[in-house]
Amino acid sequence: MEKGRREDGKSSEVKILVIGTGAIGGFYGAKLAQAGALVSVVARSDHDSILAEGIHVESDAGDTRFAPEKVLRSAPDYGDPPDIILVATKVLPGADTPNLIRGAVGPGTSILLIQNGIDIEEPVRLTFPETEILSGLAFIAANRVGPGRILHLDYGRLTLGRYPSGPSSRAEAIRSLLESVGVPCLVTEDVVTARWQKLVWNAPFNPISVLAGGVDTRTILGSEESTRLARAVMEEVSQLAAAAGHPLPADVIDQNIQGTRVMKPYKTSMLLDFENRRPMEVEAILGNAVRIARSLGVAIPHMETLYALLKLVDSRIGS
């Protein structure tokens, strides 16, 4: 198994601590290790399995298996601060990202948040005002199918940048690592706009997949009416982004529809959470956008409807 070292046996100088070993953390952690970074992970429910077997990514593009440098139960156990803390946990009410990483952040650490939703960075920025915050958007179809086991179905591109804006040498270093192992990566100096662009896809497909009774992306776009609904939600996201000062490309909706049509049928992360009776990222994906719209006086009736219904569904999980 890959042990976080290059093929020539030399250690990378980039030390990365991954918080969250689900589909996102597992996939990008494995790829960064394959590229030569020294990757450690914080794992809770998967701790013993990953310690014994490592993390395995199954993909048509080639399987990857790696043994993390360290498998920890909490971030403070890492020791000397890492160069990068990659946070890939769900953004849920009550989840305290700053507290999860507090004991591992050092003076030279950058924090990379690869998470869903809009307006999710502020709690981390306020807690660590002197620390570089990087925000990342994963355009990937991947699922966690077991402890330390990730199934990569399609895509994999990562967009990241310094939050709220500006250049970042650390972001460029991550791009270089990922692209060296075939993972497309774009660095942007306007990552907030990139987050709005990702929401164009997340806002319709995640909620509809749950509220339609558990359907994948191909099923949603196989119906004229559900496609019409998805497009209407995308139009609302675009209008809201423009009102918030982050206008999106004119073809963003058509690109998302066309890209999803050619993608392998995919169960969204929200649908998988629902099927496994786990809380869903309702607030990060819809609630924050609804609150921004209300503060700006922007009408988003389709998104408000999905939000209200999804909150009811989410409230019944575990009851």
CATH of 194-316, one of 3.30.420.310, 3.40.50.10470, 3.20.10.10, 1.10.1040.10: 1.10.1040.10
Residue 290 has pLDDT above 60, yes or no: yes
What's the confidence (pLDDT) of residue 318? Answer: 65
The angle, 0 to 180 degrees and rounded to 10, between the axes of the packed helices 301-316 and 288-296 is 140
Burial class (CB in 10 A: 0-12, 13-18, 19+), 198: buried
- CA–CA separation, 278 and 248 (whole Å): 32
pLDDT tens readout for residues 46-93: 999 999 999 999 999 899 999 999 999 999 999 999 999 999 999 999
**All CATH 3.40.50.720 domain ranges in the chain, comma separated:** 15-189
Looking at residues 260-275, what average pLDDT do you find?
95
- CA–CA separation, 77 and 58 (whole Å): 29
Q: Which uninterrupted H or E stretch holds 142?
A: strand 132-146
What's the confidence (pLDDT) of residue 13? Answer: 81
What's the confidence (pLDDT) of residue 9? Answer: 44
- CA–CA separation, 216 and 86 (whole Å): 28
Give just the sign of the alpha carbon dihedral 23, 26, 28, 34: negative
What's the confidence (pLDDT) of residue 2? Answer: 39
Greatest distance between any 2 Cα atoms in the chain? 58
- CA–CA separation, 120 and 132 (whole Å): 15
User: Which of the residues are catalytic?
Assistant: 198
Nearest CA to 87 out of 103, 107, 64, 110 is that of: 110
**All CATH 1.10.1040.10 domain ranges in the chain, comma separated:** 194-316
Show the DSSP H helices in 72-190 as ranges: 97-101, 122-127, 169-180
Averaged pLDDT score across all residues of the chain: 94
* pTM (two decimals): 0.92
pLDDT tens readout for residues 7-53: 444 444 899 999 999 999 999 999 999 999 999 999 989 999 999 99
Please name the CATH architecture into which domain 15-189 falls: 3-Layer(aba) Sandwich (3.40)
| 98-134 b/e (C-beta count within 10 Å ≥ 16 → b) | eebbeebbeeebbbbbbbbbbebbeebbebbeebbbb
Residue 110 has pLDDT above 60, yes or no: yes
Q: What are phi and psi for residue 85, nearest 5 degrees?
A: -105, 115
Residue 4 has pLDDT above 50, yes or no: no
130 within 8 A of 156, measured Cβ to Cβ: no
Looking at residues 289-307, what average pLDDT do you find?
98
Q: Which two tokens stand for residue 185?
A: 């990566």
pLDDT tens readout for residues 146-198: 999 999 999 999 999 999 999 999 999 999 999 999 999 999 999 999 999 99
Burial class (CB in 10 A: 0-12, 13-18, 19+), 137: buried
